[in-house]
Amino acid sequence: MGVLYADPSALARLYLRDEPDSDQLIELLLASSDSVLTSIPSTQFTSPSLSRRARHSGEPIVFVTRDGEQAIAARELGLEVG
């Protein structure tokens, strides 16, 4: 099991069914067995234990975004982008 980080733009597109990538995001974020972390400005929707485990377990974290600049920054930080 891996960990996916979904930024707010990915979450919004997931729920807006008229977005062209909504089905892809549903499959990636909701139909997956991976854990999903997110934050909306400074609020993180995850349990402290899951967040700590993701940071310290060595499990890969996939940054899910539809924002091109965030994707570039995430890749520069060594994160996989989904």
Domain range list for the chain: 3-81
Average pLDDT over residues 22-50: 77
In percent, how much of the chain has pLDDT > 90?
A: 7
Give burial (CB, 10 Å; 0-12/13-18/19+) of 42.
Answer: exposed
pLDDT tops 80 at residue 61: no
pLDDT band (50, 70, 90) for residue 12: confident
Cα angle at 52 between 51 and 54, to 5 degrees?
65
pLDDT tops 80 at residue 54: no
Which pLDDT value is given to residue 72? 92
pLDDT tops 60 at residue 42: no
